[in-house]
Amino acid sequence: MECEVLSLEQVCSFLKQRDNYTILTHSSPDGDTLGSGFAMQGVLEKLGKKARVICNDAIPQKFSYMIRKPVGEFDTQTLISVDVADLKLLGKNHVDFIGKIDLAIDHHGSNTMFAHRAYIEQDTSSCCEIIYKIAQCLNVELDCQIAAALYTGVATDTGCFKFSNTSDNTHLVAADLFKRGIDAAEINRVMFETKSRNMIQVEQIAYRSLEFSYDGRCAMVILPYELIKNCENSDLETVSNIARSIEGVLVGITLKEKEQNIIKISVRSHAPVDASAICGELGGGGHSRAAGCEFEGTISEAKQKILAVVKKYLEINNERTCTSKQA
Amino acid sequence: MECEVLSLEQVCSFLKQRDNYTILTHSSPDGDTLGSGFAMQGVLEKLGKKARVICNDAIPQKFSYMIRKPVGEFDTQTLISVDVADLKLLGKNHVDFIGKIDLAIDHHGSNTMFAHRAYIEQDTSSCCEIIYKIAQCLNVELDCQIAAALYTGVATDTGCFKFSNTSDNTHLVAADLFKRGIDAAEINRVMFETKSRNMIQVEQIAYRSLEFSYDGRCAMVILPYELIKNCENSDLETVSNIARSIEGVLVGITLKEKEQNIIKISVRSHAPVDASAICGELGGGGHSRAAGCEFEGTISEAKQKILAVVKKYLEINNERTCTSKQA
């Protein structure tokens, strides 16, 4: 299938021409896909169109303020996906949509171009930042609910403006959304300062297990199967950053026993230590500062193995790390 | 002493008239006072003036990228304080400055007007946001180092744009600072994602001690004297938020035994529970969502006492809390 790459103006005229939209968000929905979906629905409704948002998975309660009840019944005429990099990410019935998506709007450079038309901005913080741009181009006046949805996506995808994907334009968008009367502090409280009871339990296990090696340059957190077997993946989200966030730590490791004797090793590092090279030695890979690999054996074997590799990389980098402190 | 309240234009003409500035920051310096100080120094230097920054306490290593070596020797002609709400906050030799400060620039409504002149904007996120405004008014082109100092103050005082003191203008300022080539992601990593070994130890104690009451609507963290006696106040910064950040918790309590049998009780709450009313019953006070009181007795007595008060307030609010979930 040929995918036509549209310009911003072409996206806008396409949206003005069509009607009866179903907007698809990715499964395990996050703030950006839902924010993009419901903001898009709101923008289309302000153009006098009918639109709904669909997600394969249930929408977590914390995002419920974004939900817009569709105005009236209608059959889908136009299918749009937002923040979906690959058709498979639509979830279990993604095969139903093969060859059927009319327009994909996304900020992932890895988008597989599964739609008939695509508008991709890969250097943009979030899909919501793109939807904002489209709304501006369509001259749609944003109401407070649309603005709150867009803010949610921008804030969650940038770690509240903390990560390197934040740009000057991201802040300009936020400034404009503030003017629409959103309660950003409350959104941020729910998104960034609320942890589930399960998350807290996992953090308790993590803090209890914390061990340091090599003069505090390596920290390790261990999550044994018996203690985490009832946890969801989302409960484990926050722990992989604990080890690396400690002052003086260059390599932070999380050992997660997914099944008895199957250990997922996550490695996070600070410059100049290469996490991907470390994991490569155990058959894994990833990015230079965040990588992973899998190990079959006991926790204590995994620990010995990964620490031996880490030692080598700390020695390689020893001279450089002494001079690479915060300039 | 009479304190003259200046307009923005009056501040600018004052700064243009004078020379040989010493800029005073508050003791236990944070990102905002240091960012304001070094940015002000940079701005004054760009006007051809001489300036230096002084702080009573050592500047923590993590802020070292802001430091500007003063250009040449000079005797102080003009004394300015930045982000200093009360003369006492200058630190142990604050008496040396009584009646001597020429201009106070601050964002605290509680400023005690200790200077000959004052420019106070109490609804502004940070003192750095005010210094930015002054620099604009003076037509000074910001270099990257000044911009990094200003960004640091804005980001640290708003919890990286998370808190309710963030405004549309705060984001506009950030957008402009980004254009000066700052490495905001690296600043944020150092400010928000790096914890000292002592902080981690305190968090370990906190997580180990975590207890829930009243169907999970109250969570409590306990820090006994024996375990924290070697900690600095700054090591205890992050723990008071742990209890309230847990899903379902309306009242988060931290019991910190400062000295044997002297317990500092911190109460953080979610709407509609009034933390200040709870602490008021034990002789303390504060804000509606964050308050404190002190208790003489054992940890177990303090626990019993505060839980009894919390119970009462949860019962008062029981009906309202059922309907006050995230809209």
> Which whole number is the average pLDDT over B262-283?
94
Closest approach of B16 to chain A, Cα-based (Å): 31
Nearest to A179 among B168, B184, B326 (CB): B168
Contact B207 A207 (CB under 8 A): yes
Rounded to 5°, the CA angle B177-A158-A65 comes to 120
In tens digits, chain A (327 residues) has pLDDT values of 799 999 999 999 999 999 999 999 999 899 999 999 999 999 999 999 999 999 999 999 999 999 999 998 999 999 999 999 999 999 989 999 999 999 999 999 989 999 999 999 999 999 999 999 999 999 999 999 999 999 999 999 999 999 999 999 999 999 999 999 999 999 999 999 899 899 999 999 999 999 999 999 999 999 999 999 988 877 887 898 899 999 999 999 999 999 999 999 999 999 899 999 999 999 998 888 889 999 999 999 999 999 999 999 998 876 544 333 333
Closest approach of B12 to chain A, Cα-based (Å): 26
Closest approach of B42 to chain A, Cα-based (Å): 18
What pLDDT, on the 0 to 100 scale, is given for residue A319?
53
Model pLDDT for residues B221-235, shown as the tens digit of each residue: 999 999 999 888 878
What pLDDT, on the 0 to 100 scale, is given for residue B238?
81
Nearest to B208 among A160, A179, A208 (CB): A208
Look up residue B206 and give its two tokens.
Answer: 């906190």
Residue of B nearest to A177 (CA): B168
Contact A194 B247 (CB under 8 A): yes
Strands (E), B137-270: 211-213, 218-223, 251-259, 262-269
Interstrand relation of B21-24 and B262-269 (parallel, antiparallel or unpaired):
unpaired
Strand, coil or helix: what is A249? coil
Look up residue B312 and give its two tokens.
Answer: 């009462």
Phi, psi (rounded to 5 degrees) for A35:
-60, -45
Strand, coil or helix: what is B319? helix
Contact A247 B195 (CB under 8 A): yes
ipTM: 0.88
What pLDDT, on the 0 to 100 scale, is given for residue B326?
38
Give, for A122, the enclosing helix (H) or strand (E): none
Q: What span, in angstroms and rounded, lies between the C-alpha atoms of A102 and A79?
A: 5
Amino acid at A124: T
- B288: closest CA among B305, B307, B268? B268
What pLDDT, on the 0 to 100 scale, is given for residue A318?
67
**Tally of CB atoms within 10 A around A255:** 20
Model pLDDT for residues B77-94, shown as the tens digit of each residue: 999 999 999 999 999 999
Strands (E), chain A: 4-5, 21-24, 51-54, 78-82, 103-106, 117-120, 211-213, 218-223, 251-259, 262-269, 285-286, 290-296
Contact A192 B247 (CB under 8 A): no
Residue of B nearest to A62 (CA): B326
Nearest to A175 among B159, B168, B193 (CB): B168
**Tally of CB atoms within 10 A around A276:** 18
Give, for B314, the enclosing helix (H) or strand (E): helix B299-316
Chain centroid to Cα B306, Å, comes to 27
CB pairs under 8 A between A and B: 125
Biggest CA-to-CA distance, chain A: 67
Amino acid at B314: L
Which residues are bridge partners to A268 per DSSP? A252, A290
- B217: closest CA among B318, B95, B67, B71? B318
Q: Kindly list the residues from chain B whose CB atom is less than 8 angstroms away from the CB atom of residue A167.
A: 178
Q: What span, in angstroms and rounded, lies between the C-alpha atoms of B24 and B14?
A: 17
Residue of B nearest to A194 (CA): B245
Give, for A110, the enclosing helix (H) or strand (E): none
Contact B246 A192 (CB under 8 A): no
What pLDDT, on the 0 to 100 scale, is given for residue A82?
98
What pLDDT, on the 0 to 100 scale, is given for residue A228?
92
Nearest to A245 among B65, B166, B195 (CB): B195
Residue of A nearest to B193 (CA): A245
Q: What span, in angstroms and rounded, lies between the C-alpha atoms of B224 and A11?
A: 61
What pLDDT, on the 0 to 100 scale, is given for residue B321?
41
Nearest to A326 among B65, B204, B210 (CB): B65
Q: Kindly list the residues from chain A whose CB atom is less than 8 angstroms away from the CB atom of residue B163.
A: 185, 188
Closest approach of A221 to chain B, Cα-based (Å): 12
Mutate to test the interface with A, among B63, B129, B161, B202 (most CBs of A within 10 A): B161
- Rg for chain A (alpha carbons), in Å? 22
| Contact between residue A63 and residue A41 where contact means Cβ atoms under 8 Å apart | no
Nearest to A185 among B61, B163, B241 (CB): B163
Residue of B nearest to A327 (CA): B65
Model pLDDT for residues B93-103, shown as the tens digit of each residue: 999 999 999 99
Closest approach of A290 to chain B, Cα-based (Å): 15
pLDDT at B317 over 50: yes
Model pLDDT for residues B153-180, shown as the tens digit of each residue: 999 999 999 999 999 999 999 999 999 9
What pLDDT, on the 0 to 100 scale, is given for residue A148?
98
Amino acid at B112: T
As a whole number of Å, the end-to-end CA separation of chain B is 50
Residue of A nearest to B188 (CA): A162
Nearest to B161 among A161, A246, A248 (CB): A161
Q: Kindly list the residues from chain A whose CB atom is less than 8 angstroms away from the CB atom of residue B178.
A: 166-168, 171
Contact A195 B246 (CB under 8 A): yes
Strand, coil or helix: what is A279? helix
Contact B197 A247 (CB under 8 A): yes
What pLDDT, on the 0 to 100 scale, is given for residue B324?
36
Mutate to test the interface with B, among A215, A242, A247, A269 (most CBs of B within 10 A): A247
Closest approach of A21 to chain B, Cα-based (Å): 26
Look up residue A12 and give its two tokens.
Answer: 């806008």
Contact A178 B168 (CB under 8 A): yes
List Cα–Cα distances, B242 to A110, B202, B230, B249, in angstroms: 37, 11, 21, 10
Residue B251 neighbours by CB under 8 Å, 6+ apart: B217, B218, B219, B244, B267, B268, B269, B270, B273, B275, B278, B310, B313, B314
- B303: closest CA among B186, B220, B193, B189? B220
Return mean pLDDT, chain B.
Answer: 93
pLDDT tier, B323 (very low <50, low <70, confident <90, very high otherwise)? very low
Percent of chain B at pLDDT > 70 equals: 97
Q: Angle of helix A168-178 relative to helix B168-178, nearest 10 degrees?
A: 170
**Tally of CB atoms within 10 A around B194:** 17
Closest approach of A190 to chain B, Cα-based (Å): 9
Q: Kindly list the residues from chain B whose CB atom is less than 8 angstroms away from the CB atom of residue A174.
A: 161, 168, 171
Look up residue A164 and give its two tokens.
Answer: 């390197």
Look up residue B80 and give its two tokens.
Answer: 């300015």
Strand, coil or helix: what is A33? helix
pTM here is 0.88
Nearest to A174 among B171, B196, B246 (CB): B171
Contact A178 B190 (CB under 8 A): no
Range with lowest mean pLDDT among B106-110, B212-216, B316-320: B316-320
- Rg for chain B (alpha carbons), in Å? 22
Q: Kindly list the residues from chain B whose CB atom is less than 8 angstroms away from the CB atom of residue A289.
A: none
Peptide bond into A272 cis (omega under 30): yes
| Contact between residue A266 and residue A284 where contact means Cβ atoms under 8 Å apart | no
Mutate to test the interface with B, among A160, A165, A250 (most CBs of B within 10 A): A160
Contact A65 B161 (CB under 8 A): no
Which residue would you say has higher pLDDT here, B28 or B152? B152
Residue of B nearest to A183 (CA): B164
Q: What span, in angstroms and rounded, lies between the C-alpha atoms of A100 and B49?
A: 66
